Structure 1
């Protein structure tokens, strides 16, 4: 009998096992669902954020930096030409190019042309003769032996002779050797005459350039700038000279703009700009080629790193971090550019950090993580 019921008992045991497994599976599924529920809720609450670096926004003086190139002591206002107002022969040359000379230093020994000396002698003789003739005419006039017109003519003859002597004397004509001196302190840039040369009146004997005192109204550095840049430069603005030679890279000298040209040079296609820079005692000798940094259009703006300024179809803008560590877009207008710094105008807040790195990933209101310990917070 027990053998006959064995299949029934086996079937009953199998049904119980299946029911137990089904119940256990349902319990595990419910347990797993409850275990995953908190994690899913946390992911739903987490918002994307961007790691950024910030700096402090400050208002300070920023200028438009313009770079120009030129030469020391070639500005026309700083050069002087040494010449004679009469024909003369050069007997000695006492200086050479590149030599520094003081005011009144001897440059040449010359002798006036004999014809010029004769003209001076004739003027002196004419004056002596006219003086005597006037005295005789005055005596005759007192005796009623000469007319008023004769007396006036004698007086005019003497006046003309005296004027001729004055003209000859003003030109510096003198018999014998004459020393030609430097009209001002400076450096001999060029010597145009040699011993034995016969020079005409007004011909250049030498050219001097100023001693680089850097007078505010007298340029001693000639620069060339693009026409668009020249429109931004004004007299009085700061300029700093730098040497081009590799061995003198650290050498610099500050000064100011003295003159801005009003036309474009036909050869260089640049506008001439004259700078006044005190160079006495420096290694910036006449003829030195230099690079100049001009601070044009100085003004007080928001000073921000170049990397902080972005641009799109709506214009230039920056991001600042507002309370709650959110990104806030601020529209700006770039006014000047000075190296790696922009001077901008806009509704910036000095109390809010300015994003300088990571800003390309930001959008308005996006969460940020400050990633520069010790920087602006």
Structure 2
């Protein structure tokens, strides 16, 4: 049987159309696959993050080598004003009732000037009695002398024995001794009367008065007056061991009392020879002339000249501080940050002077130290030091 004879032309036409559809589907699927591949490649190229280059992450830091510079240092201090020589004045004698007070605080007095007077009526009567005793003893001595002289004239005639002469000489000596005793007692009483005047031991300024007329005073009484010798004042301030080593007797100073803008010139006249073991501080005393603004007991600030010295200078940005004090960051040989405690001095347009903690040859972080921690790795860049 002939199979081809059974297939008509319409059957061939249907077969061709089916093949064409399959080819179109394959072509479309291939195109879509190609599009997806291209889109994936583009997406990878667009959204893929480039690999980070391997670099050194240490931050760059500006450092300086400060060296040493000549500066005039001033040491700040605070303290209390007091009289340089504060003289307490009290009762020198037996005391009694005060009848007059002759001065007020703020008065100037001379050495030996009477400040107050104590009642002396009893002592005056005692002195009068002693004066009478002197006259009586003197009369007895005069009589004894006359008798001795008459006896000496009669001894050559034999009317008076040598023993009588010796007795009369002894009587005269005894009478003269009684005169001397009476005179000494009288002078003693006069001295005691003089001590009833409360007198200033020195010329100066009366600071306080603690007595009124009618008050009974004695040797156990507190100081009745306080006198500043010559009106001279001083400021007593406490400084650290390091600051004490920078000053000397004669160093100039300027003192500003609280509540004023005035600067009173003075100079250091005494430096404590000992250091307090608890505070590690010593006392410096600044001599000051009389000034109405300088009141004993008042508070004042001082600037003490520490002389000229060679010290490292740093920009203010290099010096940091926290609860432990001032410090800077140095760069070690391995380019790592190292903390160093320092003590700062004066600040001027050149920078901050470093009193202790640096030699001047170190590499010091000039800025950005606040962002560092000890041990951080950095890349130092050297900059000129302040001048």
TM-score bracket, shorter-length normalisation: 0.5 to 0.7
C-alpha deviation, 1:152, in angstroms: 6.3
Q: 2:166 aligns with which of 125, 133, 146?
A: 146
Shift of 1:308: 2.5
Q: 1:78 aligns with which of 76, 82, 86?
A: 86
TM-score (norm 2): 0.54
> What is the 5 A alignment of 1:1-377?
6-7=20-21, 10=24, 13-14=27-28, 17=31, 21=35, 40-41=52-53, 44-49=54-59, 72-73=82-83, 78-83=86-91, 85=93, 91-96=99-104, 98-103=105-110, 107-108=115-116, 112-113=120-121, 114-118=124-128, 121-122=131-132, 124-125=134-135, 128=138, 132=142, 145-146=165-166, 150=170, 156-157=177-178, 159-171=180-192, 173=194, 182-183=200-201, 184-194=203-213, 206-210=224-228, 213-214=231-232, 243=257, 248=259, 250=261, 277-278=287-288, 280-286=290-296, 288-290=297-299, 308=320, 318-320=328-330, 327-332=336-341, 344-345=356-357, 349=361, 352-355=364-367, 357-361=369-373, 363-367=375-379
CA RMSD of aligned residues (A): 6.4
Richer in strand (by share): 1
SS of 2:128's equivalent in the other structure is helix
Say if 1:321 and 1:355, in contact at 8 Å, map to a contact too: no
CA radius of gyration, larger in: 2
CA–CA distance in structure 1, aligned partners of residues 333 and 356 of structure 2: 23
For normalisation by structure 1, the TM-score amounts to 0.55
Q: How far apart are residue 204 of structure 1 and its match?
A: 7.4
Name 2:280's counterpart in structure 1: none
Cα distance change of structure 1 residues 129 and 65 upon mapping to structure 2, 3 Å threshold: farther
Measure, in 2, the Cα distance between the counterparts of 1:61 and 1:32.
67
Q: Which runs of 5+ in 2 are unaligned?
A: 1-11, 156-161, 277-282, 347-351
Equivalent residue, structure 2, for 1:270: none
Give SS of 1:320's match: strand
Structure 1 residues 321 and 108: CA distance shift in structure 2, 3 A: same
In structure 2, do the counterparts of structure 1 residues 90 and 322 end up closer, same or farther at CA, with 3 Å as the change threshold? closer
- For residues 127 and 311 of structure 1, what CA distance do their matches in structure 2 show? 85
Structure 1 stretches lacking a partner, 5+ long: 265-272
* Paired residue secondary structure (2:166): coil
The whole-number CA distance in structure 2 between the counterparts of 1:278 and 1:171 is: 38
**8 A Cα contact 1:54 1:355, kept in partner:** no
Q: Which residue of 2 is the match for residue 269 of structure 1?
A: none
Deviation at 1:101, TM superposition (A): 2.0
Deviations 1:30-57 (A, max 9, x none): 9669x965x722xx31515377899968
